[in-house]
Amino acid sequence: MTNNYAGGAVVSFRAIDRASHVFDGRSSLTSVIALLGLLESIVLYDKLWYLPFGDRGHEAVSQANLWTAMTARGLIAPIGYAMLEEDSTVLVSARDAWKRQMGSLPHIPSYGHVSRTELLDNVFDHAMGAQVWAYDDFLNDDHQLTADGLSRWVDHVTGVGFDQAEQDANDGEDDGRYIDWERAAIYMARATLVGRLDCDYVGDAIEDPIVRIVNTHVSRNAAARLYARLSDDFRANILALATDGLPVVLPVPPIAALLLERSAGGMDSILSEAVALREEFAPFRQRYRQYAESLRNPAGMTLTDLMSARREALDEVEGALGRVGGGRTDTRLISEIVGATLKPSDDQGVSLEIEPSVSLTSLAKVGVQRFTLSRIKGRAKMLFDAYGKAMQIRNYHSLIGKALAVHVTADEYEAYVAYTSAVDKLAGGRPVRR
């Protein structure tokens, strides 16, 4: 099984197509979310790939202006269609893993004219090879963000009110019930195959919450995982301010916020800034790539060595981020890390300088010593710097309107939050309460 793609991410057709809509006059909330996620991915992953599910020759994605702009800058490359052929070892492994995952979910439709095994095989085949546009109609696929649409979608995907006798008597024509379930299953199948490449899967706003259901989709990329922890805390802070009256509808995560703030607006300027920030983040990606490579090639390493490598790479930084999310408002660790500056030193290579605004007493209160702070800062300097710089952005509330010329309403965002909440409940196998 190949690992040539390890450390990278596969970007879906939907993510590229929807993000492109921001720049061609067809923008919506979901297209803005797709763009923000794509920008973060450019900075955080070693390489972005496009696996042409139902898009042999990547003809469909080539219609998206964002694809053209990204390929011209070397930011994304297609994977050969051979990965999706029936004799592909990766595909066979992914099919089995996906079937096991589907068996753990509360509902799989069944009909009198087709067995459950045949149904799953057919859906998987559609996920790999059906024409990409067959399941990616941007005019209709956001129906679940409306109140009535979400209600129907939940019923269809969970099987609520499913009349087995009625379905056994028909040929599958059931007013969209099967199509809603199939689309969700298709997103999961694609993410499962991508996971077999040791890649993360970057979908659009509708795909991503469903992709999180997939057991094999645990973020293998340590850099992206650490950033997600930091981004979650940043988002929580912004939403708290919004609750108090800050006119922010859609929280923009730190990396995307920096790119929008630095750009002059428009696709070319935003992508140019993304290339520059990607270069700034190169040492950060390299650090965590080295850790991942030690796990993939552990020859000569003991378990103690590997556990030490994990602590050096992840545990202490994740612990720091855990303190950030712990709700401390008096002596938040992130403030101390952002307020501490690493500078070159002749004797030890790097030294720690505590800014005057940072109280050493407050550091002691959260149990952080100078040398510990230095280690943590060194392992994730770009990450914490991005957080600190994003916190200094002026007019954060107008970033999307200024850089993207898009207006997102509170109603749109509330509808999207309702959708993601419904998916979260499905992921836990719990029925969605009405």
Answer whether residue 75 shows pLDDT above 90: yes
pLDDT of residue 188: 92
Confidence of residue 203 (pLDDT cuts 50, 70, 90): very high
359 or 259, higher pLDDT: 259
Answer whether residue 430 shows pLDDT above 80: no
Cβ atoms 314, 226 nearer than 8 A: yes
CA distance 292 to 315: 14
**Residue for token digits 């545990």?**
315
pLDDT of residue 171: 54
- Cβ atoms < 10 Å from Cβ of 327: 9
* Nearby residues of 230 by Cβ (< 8 Å), 6 or more positions away: 254, 321, 324, 383, 384, 386, 387
397 or 104, higher pLDDT: 397
Read off the amino acid at residue 156.
H
User: If residue 364 lies in a helix (H) or strand (E), which one and from where to where?
Assistant: helix 360-365
What does the pLDDT average to over 79-100? 90
Cβ atoms 406, 32 nearer than 8 A: yes
* Nearby residues of 127 by Cβ (< 8 Å), 6 or more positions away: 53, 185, 186, 189, 190
**Range from 30-34, 155-159, 203-207, 286-290 carrying the lowest mean pLDDT:** 155-159
pLDDT of residue 93: 92
What does the pLDDT average to over 144-157? 86
In percent, how much of the chain has pLDDT > 70?
Answer: 76
Give Cα separations from 378 to 233, 285, 342, 351 (angstroms): 20, 13, 8, 10
CA distance 430 to 106: 8
CA distance 191 to 102: 13
Answer whether residue 25 shows pLDDT above 50: yes
Helix ranges (DSSP H) in 25-146: 29-44, 65-72, 89-103, 116-129
Rounded (5°) CA angle 414-420-425 = 125
CA distance 140 to 151: 16
What does the pLDDT average to over 219-224? 81
Answer whether residue 433 shows pLDDT above 50: no
Answer whether residue 9 shows pLDDT above 60: yes
Confidence of residue 432 (pLDDT cuts 50, 70, 90): very low
pLDDT of residue 179: 78
Answer whether residue 170 shows pLDDT above 80: no
**Range from 202-211, 212-221, 326-335, 371-380 carrying the lowest mean pLDDT:** 326-335
Q: How buried is 113 (Cβ within 10 angstroms: 0-12 exposed, 13-18 middle, 19+ buried)? A: exposed
Read off the amino acid at residue 264.
A
Biggest distance spanned by C-alpha atoms of the chain: 80
User: If residue 202 lies in a helix (H) or strand (E), which one and from where to where?
Assistant: strand 200-202
Answer whether residue 74 shows pLDDT above 70: yes
In percent, how much of the chain has pLDDT > 90?
Answer: 37
Confidence of residue 345 (pLDDT cuts 50, 70, 90): very low
Beta strand 349-354 with 340-345 is antiparallel
What does the pLDDT average to over 281-295? 86
- Side-chain half-sphere exposure of 54, counting CA atoms within 13 A: 19
Q: Whole-model pTM?
A: 0.84
Highest mean pLDDT among 94-103, 240-249, 269-278, 304-313: 269-278
What does the pLDDT average to over 63-67? 95
Answer whether residue 333 shows pLDDT above 70: no
- Side-chain half-sphere exposure of 384, counting CA atoms within 13 A: 24
Read off the amino acid at residue 64.
A
336 or 110, higher pLDDT: 110
What does the pLDDT average to over 45-72? 94
269 or 382, higher pLDDT: 269
What's the mean per-residue pLDDT of the chain? 80
Confidence of residue 191 (pLDDT cuts 50, 70, 90): very high
341 or 407, higher pLDDT: 407
**Residue for token digits 């991005």?**
386
Give per-residue pLDDT as tens, 234-261: 888 898 888 899 899 999 999 999 999 9
What does the pLDDT average to over 264-277? 95
Answer whether residue 220 shows pLDDT above 90: no
* Nearby residues of 220 by Cβ (< 8 Å), 6 or more positions away: 6, 195, 198, 199, 200, 292
Answer whether residue 4 shows pLDDT above 90: no
